[in-house]
Amino acid sequence: MAEAPEKNLALDIVRITEAAALASARWLGRGDKEAGDNAAVHAMRVSFSTLHIDGTVILGEGEKDNAPMLANGEKVGKGVGLGLDVAVDPVEGTSLLAYGRPNAISVVGVSSRGSMFNPGPSFYMQKLVVSHEARNVIDLDAPIKVNLNSVAKALGKSVQDLVVFVLDKPRHQRLIEKIRAAGARIQLQTDGDVIGALMAVDPHSDVDIMMGTGGTPEGVLSACAIKGMGGQMLARLDPQSYVEKEAINEAGIDLRDVLTVNDMVRGDDCFFAATGISGGDFLRGVRYSARYAVTHSLVLRGKTGTLRYVESYHNMDRLSKFSAVQY
């Protein structure tokens, strides 16, 4: 049965990621991770307060990053209207921002209340992310070479033409060796596994697949976008310490379970926005001129799969006269 277009919340939440990006971009390359993150958190809090939603933060700032808190369980919005689960990362890649490196972004994902996977005390998960064309050919437990061959075939490429996004971490030494042995190319980045997942599913990106262990909150947040773009992420909780493993067991979460995007975000009523802070190949960073600050964002609605790239020109003189956000 045909439906009239509904309100696209992604066009509201992109104002939140824009505000966080504008506030934190002033700290680009200044070596202060906490100051940049603090600026983004404050901007997000203020911007959320203007929305007519009844939101609960399921995945926010927290213990792993010793960050200023947009804490799990915190209420956001005016407390009226749609009941939503909310995932935020005011600055994904605080080190990237602090040291002036590319691909720091600000990210928000929302879904209908009760639909977002809550990983509890889990900080890390193993992830395998691919685009729509390869969504049915991957297996988290298959050898690296088998997955690469399957993805290459699905994309109509040779393995040698694939680009694999991997976080440049000591835990990935063997993974990197196996990818190289299979003949695929690798894009190594020090931080930013949300942007790695986005690049793996975005048709404009050179990245074909993301592999490796990254943040659990970032995985669920990425699922909001991957779901709408028709890609797939297979994931399994991958604790990096005994304390984390015991906490997950005590929470009753099975470490053997393989999660899909449909497990992490149930239903299609989800929305996603990301705004570039420090720039890069995927989203351009905040750029300043005499009158304007220019932002570049990705906006997605899960139900329709509509993907928008938004370039916004913010008149900083006018904004500074009334905005509670310190730009």
Q: Which residues are annotated as a binding site for substrate?
A: 92-94, 124, 169-171, 191-193, 215
> Of 258, 257, 169, which Cα lies nearest the Cα of 213?
169
CA distance linking residue 297 with residue 287, whole number of Å: 13
Bind-site residues for Mn(2+): 37, 61, 89, 92, 218
CA 199 to chain centre: 10
- Phi, psi of 87, rounded to the nearest 5 degrees: -125, 135
User: What tokens appear for 180 in the block?
Assistant: 């190289």
* Collapsed DSSP state (helix, strand, coil) of residue 30: coil
Residue 186's Cβ-count burial label (10 Å; 0-12, 13-18, 19+) is: middle
Compute the C-alpha angle 68/277/107, nearest 5°. Answer: 60
Q: Which residues does the annotation place in the binding site?
A: 37, 61, 89, 92-94, 124, 169-171, 191-193, 215, 218
Task: Give dist(CA 126, CA 166) in Å, integer.
Answer: 11
Contact call for residues 76 and 58 (beta carbons, < 8 A): no
